[in-house]
Amino acid sequence: MLPYLNPSLSIDERVADLMGRMTLAEKVGQLMMLDAGGEDLSFINSMQPGSILHIFGEKANRAMDLAAKNRLGIPLLVGEDGIHGHSFWKGATIFPSQLAMAASWNPALIEQIARVTAEEMAATGVHWTFSPVLCLSRDLRWGRTGETFGEDPFLIGEYGAAMIRGYQGKDLKDRTAVLATAKHYAGYSETQGGRDASEADLSRRKLRSYFLPPFERAVRAGAASFMTGYQSIDGVPSTANHWLLTEVLKEEWGFKGVLVTDWNNTGRMVTEQKVCANYTDAAVVALRAGNDIIMTTPEFLEGAIEAVRSGMLNEAEIDAPCARLLALKFRLGLFEDPRRYDPIRTEYEISRADHCAVNLEAARQSLVLLQNNGLLPLDARKPLSILVTGPNADDDLSQLGDWSLGSPQHPPEAGKQPREKTITVLDGIRALAPSGSTIRYEQGCSIVNDDLSGIPAAVSAARESDVVVAVVGDHLDFIGECKSTATLELQGGQVALLNALAETGKPMILVLVASKPLVLPRSVWQSSAIFECFNPGMQGGRALAEAIFGYLNPSGKLTISYPIHVGQQPVFYSQVRGQHGDRYADLTQEPLFPFGHGLSYTRYRYSNLRLASPVLSRGQAAEIDVDVENTGDRAGDEIVQVYVSDLVTSATWVNKALKNFTRVHLEPGEKKTLHFVLPWESFQIVNADGYSVVEPGEFEIMVGPSSRDRDLLITTLRVV
Which residues have a Cβ under 8 Å from the Cβ of 185 and sit 6 or more positions away?
A: 134, 215, 226, 227, 228, 229, 238, 244, 245, 249, 259
Q: What is the DSSP letter of 720?
A: -
Q: What strands lie across the sheet with 181-185, from one edge to the other?
A: 181-185, 225-228, 258-260
| 710 class by beta-carbon count within 10 Å (0-12 exposed, 13-18 middle, 19+ buried) | exposed
Taking CA atoms, 464 is separated from 440, 468, 497, in Å, by 9, 10, 16
Q: Which of 709, 422, 692, 666 is nearest to 573 (CA)?
A: 709
Torsion of CA 655, 369, 115, 657, to 10 degrees: 10
Cα(315)–Cα(25) distance, integer angstroms: 11
CA angle centred on 328, ends 326 and 331, rounded to 5°: 115
User: Cis peptide before 418, with omega less than 30 degrees from 0?
Assistant: no
Q: What strands lie across the sheet with 713-719, from one edge to the other?
A: 615-616, 713-719, 697-704, 636-646, 657-666
Cα(400)–Cα(325) distance, integer angstroms: 34
Cα(640)–Cα(631) distance, integer angstroms: 15
Neighbours of 342 (CB within 10 A): 16
Active site residue 262: yes
Cα(489)–Cα(557) distance, integer angstroms: 22
Tell me the three state secondary structure of residue 566: helix
Q: What is the DSSP letter of 207?
A: I
Per-residue DSSP letters for 589-602?
SS-SB-TT--B-SS
Taking CA atoms, 669 is separated from 301, 368, 603, 630, in Å, by 68, 23, 10, 5
Cα(130)–Cα(225) distance, integer angstroms: 9
Q: What is the DSSP letter of 313?
A: S
Q: Determine which one of 81, 262, 395, 427 is catalytic.
A: 262
Q: What are phi and psi of 458, to 5 degrees?
A: -65, -40
Q: Which of 333, 296, 334, 346 is nearest to 57 (CA)?
A: 346
Cα(575)–Cα(557) distance, integer angstroms: 20
With residue 85 as reference, give the H or E element that holds it: none
Cα(531)–Cα(514) distance, integer angstroms: 11
Neighbours of 14 (CB within 10 A): 22
Taking CA atoms, 114 is separated from 84, 547, 621, 684, in Å, by 8, 25, 31, 31
**Catalytic positions, please?**
262
